[in-house]
Amino acid sequence: MAQAQPNILVVEDDRETRTLIAKYLRNNSCNVTTASDGKEMARAMTDHRVDLLILDVMLPGEDGLSLCRKVRATSQTPIIMLTARGEDVDRILGLEMGADDYLPKPFNPRELLARINAVLRRQAAAQTASAVEGSVLTFLGWRIDCRLRELRNPEGARVAMTSAEFDLLRTFCERPGRVLSRDSLLDLTQGRNAGSLERSIDVLVSRIRRKIEPDPQDATMIKTVRSGGYMFTPRVEATGIEAVTAGGR
């Protein structure tokens, strides 16, 4: 596991599925709390530390996509969505709401555990790297603190970002002025985990644009390069590591 005894919150309305997941994860060195709907989830997140959230899409009352969006607005807790739907568009919706990964039903519990491990490893590796480097990247008044893993706008307000969004924006800022293919961005940010899609990069870019671009529909910071990928255009200044400037590296 990425850490000893991670605390996992499983939100699933089907009792049999919920019990099966909880039992399997507990047998594999996880602390597990369960909930059957959004209200129970909210109470559990208040009462317990949650290292990762497993969230079913189809829930009674408020659905999983809406709950995912609410969690992501205030927290960077990793989220894995479970869905009975197999269409890519439904999976992409989960990513757009801020999920870190998804798994269509029916699934093998071993695959779920593998995805939990992968998400937690990525988070731990990113946090370790940020603590060691301690760098601050700035562009057009925006400030990325790699140690604290936070983004602040030109007015100094903190902008909520998922772990995946932060990693992708940092990757762009460390390589300004370079055309980066979707394949290379997947390798740099997700390590080619099972189930990674090039489309997931497009979703993340769209979410980042909505947070930093003056006009997300006419992006000037993260430009799309036809048949190439994306390019981060602003000049980037760095402290704590070798200076990064447009066209460098």
Q: Outline which parts of the chain fall under CATH 1.10.10.10.
A: 134-239
Residues 11/55, Cβ–Cβ less than 8 Å:
yes
In the predicted model, is pLDDT for residue 24 greater than 90? yes
Query: In angstroms, what CA-CA distances link 238 with 76, 169, 212?
Result: 24, 14, 18
Per-residue model confidence (pLDDT) at position 133: 54
Average pLDDT over residues 202-230: 93
DSSP-assigned letter for residue 3: S
Residues 104/87, Cβ–Cβ less than 8 Å:
no
Angle formed by the axes of helices 88-97 and 64-74, nearest 10°:
30
CATH of domain 7-126: 3.40.50.2300
Q: Is the dihedral of CA 53, 118, 120, 142 positive or negative?
A: negative
Under the banding of pLDDT at 50, 70 and 90, the label for residue 19 is very high
The token pair that represents 125 in the structure block: 């590796």
H-helix or E-strand containing 80? Answer: strand 79-83
Average pLDDT over residues 125-153: 78
Q: Outline which parts of the chain fall under CATH 3.40.50.2300.
A: 7-126
In the predicted model, is pLDDT for residue 154 greater than 50? yes
Please name the amino acid found at residue 178.
R
Q: What share of the chain is helix, strand, coil (3-state, %, to 5)?
A: 40, 20, 40
**21: nearest Cα among 108, 109, 100:** 109
Per-residue model confidence (pLDDT) at position 21: 96
Q: What is the CA radius of gyration of the chain?
A: 18
Its CATH architecture, for the domain 134-239, is Orthogonal Bundle (1.10)
Greatest mean pLDDT among 29-33, 47-51, 144-148 lies in: 29-33
Residues 103/14, Cβ–Cβ less than 8 Å:
no
Range with the poorest average pLDDT among 131-135, 143-147, 221-225, 231-235: 131-135
DSSP secondary structure letters along 8-67 = EEEE-S-HHHHHHHHHHHHTTT-EEEEESSHHHHHHHHHHS--SEEEEESS-SSS-HHHH
What are the b/e assignments for 119-137, b being 16+ CB within 10 Å?
Answer: bbebbeebeeebeeeebbb
Convert the pLDDT of each residue in 170-179 to its tens digit: 999 988 999 9
β-strands 136-139, 142-145 pairing: antiparallel
DSSP-assigned letter for residue 5: S
Q: What percent of the chain has pLDDT over 90?
A: 50
